[in-house]
């Protein structure tokens, strides 16, 4: 009966996943030996037999038989008189093996053993979860939404382990309710207060990369390589791909017939606009492709400052910059070069650079205009008043004054 209290703890041990039998046996034996050492001063002369499946165990003590007047170490020796009480055939020098019952230790010792065992089980489980997810960093996992809070979502995996998806790692348009299935990449694994903390992410470029590997067989098989990914989660992403096999069109393979392959990825990312770009070691060509759908007239590259001056026809500038400046921002991140956009004017067009208006227009206003690709008076005048207000951080009054100054130049 003394083992009954421990059967539940044994069954908890059996339920643990990813923990091999050898590790379980050694931990269980360690706990029992610590109790024996406290009780008898040593545990080295004990044999412990554990049956994990039945939730049972036996402890056997081995002692050497000595003459009654030669007993020096009671933990390791037994007198001949006491040995004969167990079996009349024992002689001096032989070894006596007798079973030790846990009930003889007392209720407190049994309770301590159970607590130690439960504590070891919990530690082992935490270590197992930590090690499991440490190896999964950068991999996609799926789980069920268990709780939705203001700053994070609690997700349970198929083994009931707790995973956290913080608000800042969610796509802005993400909306999940309890019971929903959620996919994300394992972003970070920490040990916080001796508890494993598994952080997920849906905004990481790695999440997008793994989705491409899942959806595009040629990427999974290594026929197409992803060279770089940049994204503004939920808004737009650019993915540079390359194929080492000339027979494979990397962009076509990724997009699929009528967008069939990329559609699933776009849906998972809440309709994030994904540009798939054919990578090139030719920097000029790569920058041109990265600014799609805008058509570039010419490019000047400054390797020393990592800058590129891109010249386009006036009607192409807004395409190059993109909504909210996203296209040019992502193109710069993708290529590693800061891209400045300039309108290309016809040779017979008379124009004046903005720098010539420094006496009438403040420097910071000129910088604002250059940031949206306007470096001359006519560049600015090709835009409407509303476009200037929307694209820059300039006040309405400032824009009105600016237009008045520039128009007067050509009147």
Q: Would strands 224-232 and 236-243 be described as parallel, antiparallel, or unpaired?
A: antiparallel
pTM passes above 0.85: no
DSSP state of 188: E
pLDDT of residue 4: 46
Q: 374: helix, coil or strand? A: coil
Partners of 77 in the beta sheet? 64
Q: Are 230 and 204 in contact (CB under 8 A)?
A: no
Fold (CATH) for 4-132: N Utilization Substance Protein A; Chain:P; domain 4 (3.30.1480)
pLDDT (0 to 100) of residue 73: 86
| 3-state helix/strand/coil string of 117-153 | HHHHHHHHHHHHHHHHHHCCCCCEEEEEEEEECCCEE
Cα–Cα distance between 144 and 161 in angstroms, integer? Answer: 11
Judge contact between 292 and 328, C-beta under 8 A.
no
The fold of the 136-203 domain, in CATH, is OB fold (Dihydrolipoamide Acetyltransferase, E2P) (2.40.50)
Find out whether 236 and 218 touch, Cβ atoms under 8 Å. Answer: no
170 DSSP assignment: S
Give pLDDT, residue 110. Answer: 75
For residue 19, the model assigns a pLDDT of 63
Q: Identical fold at 4-132 and 136-203?
A: no
Tokens of 321: 């910059």
Phi, psi of 76 (to 5 degrees): -110, -10
Domain range annotation of the chain: 4-132, 136-203, 354-410
Residue pLDDT tens, the chain, 411 long: 345 445 555 555 555 555 667 777 787 788 888 888 888 888 888 888 877 666 677 888 899 999 988 888 888 888 988 888 888 888 898 998 888 887 777 778 778 777 887 787 788 888 889 999 999 999 999 999 999 999 999 999 998 899 999 999 999 999 999 999 999 999 999 988 889 999 999 999 999 999 999 999 999 999 999 999 999 999 999 999 999 888 999 999 999 998 999 999 999 999 999 999 999 999 999 999 999 989 998 999 999 999 999 988 878 888 898 888 899 999 999 999 999 988 776 554 567 888 878 878 888 888 888 888 888 888 888 888 888 888 888 889 998 998 888 888 766
Strand 77-79 to 56-66 pairing: parallel
Q: Which two tokens stand for residue 18?
A: 């990813």
d(CA 296, CA 310): 7
Say how far apart CA 341 and CA 325 lie, in whole Å: 11
Residues 6 or more apart whose Cβ sits within 8 Å of residue 172: 233, 234
pLDDT at 1: 38
Beta bridge partners of 274: 237
Is-contact 125 16, C-beta < 8 A? yes
- Distance, CA of 391 to chain centre: 35
Question: Which tokens is 139 given?
Answer: 């991999």
């Amino acid at each position: 009966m003394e083992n009954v209290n421990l059967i539940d703890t044994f069954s908890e041990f059996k339920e643990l996943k990813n923990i091999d039998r050898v590790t379980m046996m050694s931990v269980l034996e360690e706990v029992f030996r610590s109790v024996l050492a406290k009780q008898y001063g040593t545990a080295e002369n004990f044999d412990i037999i554990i049956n994990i499946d039945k939730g049972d165990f036996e402890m056997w003590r081995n002692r050497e038989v000595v003459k009654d007047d030669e007993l020096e170490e009671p933990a390791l020796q037994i007198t001949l008189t006491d040995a004969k009480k167990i079996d009349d055939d024992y002689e001096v020098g032989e070894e006596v093996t007798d079973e030790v019952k846990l009930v003889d230790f007392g209720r407190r010792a049994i309770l301590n053993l159970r607590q130690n065992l439960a504590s070891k089980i919990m530690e082992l489980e935490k270590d197992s979860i930590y090690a499991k997810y440490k190896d999964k960093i950068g991999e996609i996992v799926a789980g069920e939404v268990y709780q939705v809070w203001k700053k994070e979502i609690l997700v349970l995996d198929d083994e009931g382990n707790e995973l956290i998806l913080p608000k800042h790692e969610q796509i802005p348009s993400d909306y999940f309710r309890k019971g929903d299935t959620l996919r994300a990449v394992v972003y970070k694994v920490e040990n916080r207060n001796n508890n494993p903390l598994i952080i997920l992410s849906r905004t990481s470029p790695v999440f997008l990369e793994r989705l491409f590997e899942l959806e595009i067989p040629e990427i999974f098989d290594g026929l197409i390589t992803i060279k770089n990914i940049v994204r503004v989660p939920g808004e737009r992403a650019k993915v540079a791909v390359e194929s080492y096999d000339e027979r494979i069109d990397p962009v076509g393979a990724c997009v699929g017939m009528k967008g069939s392959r990329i559609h699933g990825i776009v849906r998972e990312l809440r309709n994030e606009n994904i540009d798939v770009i054919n990578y090139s070691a030719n920097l000029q060509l790569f920058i041109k492709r990265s600014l799609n759908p805008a058509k570039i007239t010419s490019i000047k590259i400054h390797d020393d400052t990592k800058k590129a001056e891109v010249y386009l026809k006036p009607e192409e500038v807004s395409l190059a910059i993109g909504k909210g400046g996203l296209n040019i921002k992502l193109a710069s991140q993708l290529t590693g070069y800061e891209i400045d956009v300039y309108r290309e004017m016809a040779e017979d067009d008379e124009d004046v650079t903005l720098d010539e208006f420094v006496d009438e227009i403040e420097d910071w206003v000129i910088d604002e205009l250059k940031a949206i690709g306007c470096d001359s008076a006519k560049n600015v005048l090709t835009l409407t008043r509303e476009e200037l207000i929307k694209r820059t951080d300039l006040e309405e009054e400032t824009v009105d004054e600016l237009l008045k100054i520039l128009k007067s130049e050509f009147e």
